[in-house]
Structures are given as C-alpha cells and as structure tokens.
Amino acid sequence: MTLRGRLTSAFLAVVLGPVLLGAVFVGGAVDALGRDRAHERLELAAGAVRTEIGALCERLAASASALAVLPDPGQRAGLAELVVSRGLATAVQVVDATGAPQLTTAGLPASPWADCAAPEPSGGPPRAITARVEIRDGFGLRVAVVYVVQAVDGTLVRRLAAATGGGVTLLDDAAGAAPRDGAAPAGPASVRWLTGDRTAVSGDGRYLRRLGPVPGQPLPLAVSVPAPDRRDLFAVLLGIVLLAGALAVLVAAALARSTTRPLAELVRAADRVAGGDLDTRVPVRGHDEVARLGGAFNRMTRETQAYVQALTAGRDQLRRNLRTLGETLSGTHDLDRILRVLLRTAMVATGARAGLVLLHDPETGHLVGRCADGLGDRTPHAEPAALRIAVGRGLLGAVAATAEPRRGRVHPDGEPLCPEEPRCRTYVAVPFCPPHDDAAADSGPAATGVLALYDRLGADDFDDVDLGTLRTFAGQAAVAVENVRVHEEAQRLSLTDPVTGLWNYRYLQESIRREVERASRFGRTLAVLVLDLDHFKAVNDTHGHAVGDAVLVEFARRVRAGLREVDLAFRQGGEEFVVLLPETDADGAATVAERLGAAVRDSPVPVGERLRVPVTVSIGIAVYPRHGASAQRVLDAADEAVYAAKRAGRDTYRVCAPPPPREPTVVTVPAVPLLALDSELDVRLNPVSVAGEADGADDEGAAATSSGVPSGPQTPRQSRGR
C-alpha cells in the first residue's frame, strides 16, 4: 500500500473509530440518563405520597389525642363536630370498652378502615384511614376508644397524584387495582405482582412502584411516572455518524495528497542533515501542519548550527575560565576575588542568568552575601553585603543548615522563599562543605556558605548535570574558603598578643610605618601614646604571674573601651603598651591619656572573688611630625615621654618636647642677580631647618621632657582635637 493509502486509512481509522464509539457512548449515556431521571422522578413521587399520607395520619392522631383528653362527653362531642367542620377528618367515632358506640358524627365511612399506626391486610381496599386512641381510667383499664376517620375516595387519591406529578392507584391485594385512582392509573395486571418497594416498567412504558401498607402509610398504593421518549435522539446520532464518515473520507484523501510531497522533501533534507550538511533547507508551501513542520525543520537546522557554534565557543570559554579559576585558587588569598571567579565560572558552565555566593558569619549566625552577578531587580539590595539570611530560613538558609543541595522551580506549592532571597523561576543551590571537623560542626551550621544560580538560559530547569558541576565548584570553593580562613587566622595569630588579644610588637612596626606614611601623604597628624603600668613587677612578685596576666587582660580591655574604631592598640612587651591615634594632635592625645589613666586608676582590677589589685599607668605622648620625622623617631619620642611621666611621680602623662631647631646650612651658589633666588634655593636645600625655625614660636609653650611639665596647646594649623 502506498503512503497516500496508508495515510487515508489511518485517518479514517483515527477519526471514524472515535466517532462511532462516541455515538454508542452518547446513546447509552442518554438512555441511562433517561432511566436515571425516571427513577429519580419515581422516587420523588413516592416520597411526596409518603409525606402527604404521613401528614394526614399525624393530623388524625392529633385530633384523636385532643378528644381523648376531654373528660366531659359534652365537650368531647363539641370538639368532634369542630374537627369535622374544620375538615380535619371525615368523621369521629367514640366506642366504649365493649365496642358500643358512644359518639358518632355524620358521614362515617364504611369499613374496612386502615389504622395509621398498625395497618392490617384486608380482603379489599380500605375505605378510610383512621387514627385510634384508647381512653383508660386510673387503674389502667380501657374505658373507651376514639377513632378519627378520613375517607379514602377519588378526591384523596387525586390529591395525592397532584402532589407527586405522576399517577397514583389504590390497590386491592385480591383483585389488583381498585376503582378509585389518580390522574394516571396503572392497570391491575401491571401492579398485581409488585411487592415491597420494587420498581417495574408497564407495557405502555410507565415506571411503577408499590407503596405500603406500612406504619405511617396504611394504604396499598402504586405510584407511576411516564418513561422518556428517546427515538428522535437516536435518529439524530445516526445522521451525525453518517455525515462524519463522508467528511472523513474526503478530508483523508485531500490530506494524503497534500502530505506526501512535502514529506518526501523532508526525508531528502533529513538525509543530507544526517550526513553533516547543516545548511540544508526545505521549501515551505502554505500554512498547514506539514508546512509548519518544514519551517520547524529549517529552524532546527539553524538553531543546531548556532548551538554547535555556541558549544564550541562555550567549551573554549569554559577552558579559559577553568584555567583562570585554577590560577586564582593557587595564586591568591583574596577571598572576594576567588569567589567572583568561581561564580562567573559556574554561571558560564551551567548557562545561568544570575548567581549569588553567601558565606556564614559566625558572629551574627547569618548568611552574608559576598558577591553576585546578574541579580538586577531580583533583590531590593543594591550591594551583595546587604543581603543577610538567617540559617534555616528560606531556601538558601535550609541548604546551609542541612548541607543538602537543592534544585527546582519556584511555584506556590514548592520551596518557600524568604523575602530577602532573590526572585526567580528556577534555581539550583549547593552548600560549601568544609573538611570534616566535629568541633566545627557542633559550633555552627553544616555548611560554611552557599552557591546559588538562577534561571538557566535555553532551558526551563537545571538538571542533574548542572547540579554535579556546581558540586565540583562548591568543593573547590569550600577548600579555597577554608584555606583563606586558615591563612587569615594564622596571620592574625602571628600579629596578636596571646595574653591580651591586642596587636603585638611586630604589627606595631608595620602599622606605625603605614600610619606615618598616610599622615605624611595627606598632611595630617598622628599621636603615639606609650603606656607603662606602674609597679607591675610588684604585682607579679606579690600575687604571682597568673594575677599579673589577669591585670594585663583587664587593662587591655579598658584601653580598647576608651578608644575609637580607627585607633590601634598594641602590647609592645611586658607591661608596656602603645596606642596610635590617627588625625589627633597633642591636645587630643592628652585628653585620651587622661581618660585612660582615670579608667585604670578609679577602679582596681578584680581578680577572683576577693582580690582587688589597684593599678595606675604612666603615659608618654608624641605627635608626628612635630616630635619626629619618621615612625621610629616619633615612637622613641613617646618612649622618652613615658620616662618623664615616671620621673614625675607616675600615674600621669607627659607630652614630648619638640626637638631643638638645627642651624640652617649655608650653601654657596653662583652669583645670581635676584636676591629672592638665594632665599628660594635655601628653602629647598634646608626644608627641616626652615620648618624648625617657622615652628619655633609654637614650641615655646612646650616644656622640656626632663622638666616634667605637659606640653602646651598646638598651633591652629596642627590642632585636631579629640
């Protein structure tokens, strides 16, 4: 069979099969729906009959109870006439214990009567419905019986039929149907064999159900509703099936003719693409599905070419980035640079639009942003450092807390994002897991940081390959972060004093040189304070070195508490300390010295529960560039000042006196016509001497160090109070 024949047959099979099955299903569904609706109508009709007869029995029983409670026969007769006149019953009869009538109203129906409470089968249809109430004396003996009777006639049956909307027939168990029935009676032969609440269909297509007699419904009744007529519907379905078949044949033939030619062209083009010719294109005719298939094939070849080129370029870029990453990891301890290179490499490797790196801050317990790329308006924070997420909160906090990587799509039932996290559609997040360390694991989260990428290019979701790639990068990042932290900790330990926690003498030499260079570059001042605890040897000799160390620790704490954030405190050795005060003149340094001396003097150092060690401190002050032109000179000047404070009685401070001015150096130069040139050249050759002469007047207020008098105020040009 040709392709055209196969397409035609397949189309007919695909189209006509469901059409036929649908027609059969619709026909069966409509038929079942009709039967269900007929059963529902029949059930509603039966319920309405039960309700009407139940209400009638309740009315008769209420009337009988009212008559039974009246002790006076005259009152009972009056109430009986009232019940009949109001239409609550057809007649009332009261009999005594022997059955002799005591009271009988007019219109009493003939027997048999059906008792509402306990109907009994009889040889014919009941002529009336009655409610029976016994009257007993004080000894419980029956003295009379009250019967309230409602006649069962055509009016009652028609009323029941009107309430149901169908047909109601009063049955005779012996003969089938009684002569009194409703608007739509059922023949005796149709209902004679019905028992209980069974449903049957009569010969004329009516649905039947028998009701009673049962307590509360003493009448033997048959309820019927007409069956729906579905012949017209089946005719319409047959016409639709025939018309659909004819149209399917015509469409199948046209489709087969229009499909075979483009498919042949597609086959030839696919063969050329399989051979590696990605420039192959197929002609597109029209706008049908086959034409769109041709267009899709052309787009596929173009995009395949672009993907091949992009993969080649991406492979080269990835190689370069990996080489850069390796060089960065092995050649630097700059953590921010390492993280930036790592993030960029991970984004290139996975095709992510945006990325973020967060590290755990042990002091706050939060994840703090360190670097980001491509976030834009995804987050309200302009800088990554402003992004802070509590461990365990949101997606990134959960990754840090559990050290379990996660990827997926953001939707209402998916991973919860806290307000601080960037907005995205898809994500992948992996933790930075440090080397196994039980002590570290007990003191913080399971991960030291998180690498998160958002919204992959060219695909909806990140896949397992991306997750594996990021895990590799995260492992390298965790090692790099740990190495940098170890390096920083080792550097910190090498530059801090192990007893007091202050910077040590090694860092003092580096810091004072750096601060002097900064002050010289910007024309600022730098105050240097040398602090020496008074009689500290006696503390060690009297109380021991452990108490001495405690005194040193408390002294260092008080020094740090009395300084600014930009100030630096050092332990130079033993009981001697150094403080650097950037941009501070002699007056500001004297204020700081007074404050530090008072902080030590006014409160003895507590050691243990009972011991209080009184401590005082002597402080020497020197200011760059006034007291020295280099870092070492100004430090030596402050050291000399502290000895002056010691000689002055300790527990005080002294400001170093400026060095004496030097004689200007005379330089012989060739004769120049202008006298001003001699002055200018002398200034250039002797800047120290000239500066010393210019400042001589300002230094007159400062006493010599040996005199033990603090220096006076500085000139306005040098003053920078604190």
Q: Can you say whether the dihedral through the CA atoms of 252, 257, 259, 264 is positive or negative?
A: positive
Residue type, 254: A
Of the given ranges (103-112, 206-215, 679-688), which has the lowest mean pLDDT? 679-688
Q: What is the pLDDT of residue 426?
A: 87
**Domains in the chain, CATH or no CATH each:** 4-226 (no CATH), 232-306 (no CATH), 332-493 (3.30.450.40), 505-661+703-707 (3.30.70.270), 663-695 (no CATH)
Please name the residues in contact with 21: beta carbons below 8 A apart, sequence gap of 6 or more. none
Of the given ranges (36-45, 244-253, 577-586), which has the lowest mean pLDDT? 244-253
Q: How many CA atoms lie within 13 A of 538 on its CB side?
A: 7
At 671, the pLDDT band (50, 70, 90 cuts) reads: very low
Is the predicted pLDDT of residue 164 greater than 50, yes or no?
Answer: yes
Q: What is the pLDDT of residue 230?
A: 67
Is the predicted pLDDT of residue 535 greater than 80, yes or no?
Answer: yes
Q: How many CB atoms lie within 10 A of CB 258?
A: 17
Q: How many CB atoms lie within 10 A of CB 613?
A: 16
Q: What is the pLDDT of residue 571?
A: 92
Token look-up 């007047």 returns 697
Long-range Cβ pairs for the range 609-616 (8 Å, 24+): 611/543, 611/547, 613/539, 613/543, 613/547, 613/551, 615/533, 615/534, 615/536, 615/539, 615/551, 615/555, 616/533, 616/534, 616/535, 616/650, 616/651
Max CA pair span of the chain? 172
pLDDT digits (tens, 9 = 90+) for 300-314: 888 888 877 777 776
- Which phi and psi angles does 558 have, rounded to 5°? -70, -35
- Average pLDDT (571-583) is 92
At 117, the pLDDT band (50, 70, 90 cuts) reads: confident
Q: Are strands 617-624 and 653-655 parallel, antiparallel or unpaired?
A: parallel
Q: Tokens for 482? A: 């740990």
At 208, the pLDDT band (50, 70, 90 cuts) reads: confident
- Average pLDDT (686-708) is 35
